[in-house]
Amino acid sequence: MQISRKSDYALRAMIYVAAWENDKICSINEISEAEKVPREYLAKILKELALQGFLQSFKGINGGYRLAMPREKISFLTIIEAMQGKVAVNDCVRKAGSAEACSRMGGCAMHSFWNAEQERVTKSLSSVNLASLDYETYYPEARKKAKKQPVRVL
């Protein structure tokens, strides 16, 4: 199993947008520059993420993207599967239950191993959500600007 470049870029973009805690609409140029993702490819990925309900998009000169749901509800697994389909560590796990299922499934010594690995990988990827990341260390500029300044009364 390999995470595609598209999934990697989608994860990076979603993490960047999530760092701002919905206080800011992030422009495509800003995300592209910060995450070193080619702008044209990023535009397609962001559009797809918006269509799938992960992001809200805003048009116009001050347009851009922000999360469409709480960070806690967006796992690495859901982002990866939105970009590249069902995660599978092996073809026999991916095709189980389909017409293309492995003909050796019932008598294969590796099948139980691949099922266990599939469960481990999906559990691991689903246990990491956008709220569980260390934004303070990796996106300190977002965290500082996101905090509300107290109102001074004179």
Domains and CATH numbers, the chain: 5-137 (1.10.10.10)
**What is the full per-residue pLDDT of the chain (154 aa) written as tens digits?**
688 999 999 999 999 999 987 668 999 999 999 999 999 999 999 999 999 999 999 998 889 999 999 999 999 999 999 999 988 887 777 655 555 666 666 677 888 888 889 899 999 999 999 999 998 888 888 766 545 545 555 4
* Distance of alpha carbon 107 from alpha carbon 109, whole angstroms: 7
Cβ neighbors of 69 (< 8 A, separation 6 or more) are 53, 54
pTM for this predicted structure: 0.83
Angle at alpha carbon of residue 143, lines to 35 and 138, rounded to 5°:
45
- Which amino acid is located at 100 in the chain? E
Cβ-contact 143, 135 below 8 angstroms: yes
Burial of 64 (0-12, 13-18, 19+ CB in 10 A): buried
Enter the tokens of residue 99: 């017409």
Please give the C-alpha separations between residue 133 and each of 66, 85, 119, 129, in angstroms, as whole numbers: 17, 24, 22, 7
Quick one: how far is CA 62 from the chain centroid? 24
Nearest to 70 by CA among 59, 56, 83: 56
* Main-chain dihedrals φ then ψ at residue 55, nearest 5 degrees: -125, 155
How much is the pLDDT for 90? 79
How much is the pLDDT for 94? 64
* Main-chain dihedrals φ then ψ at residue 68, nearest 5 degrees: -100, -5
* Distance of alpha carbon 87 from alpha carbon 75, whole angstroms: 13
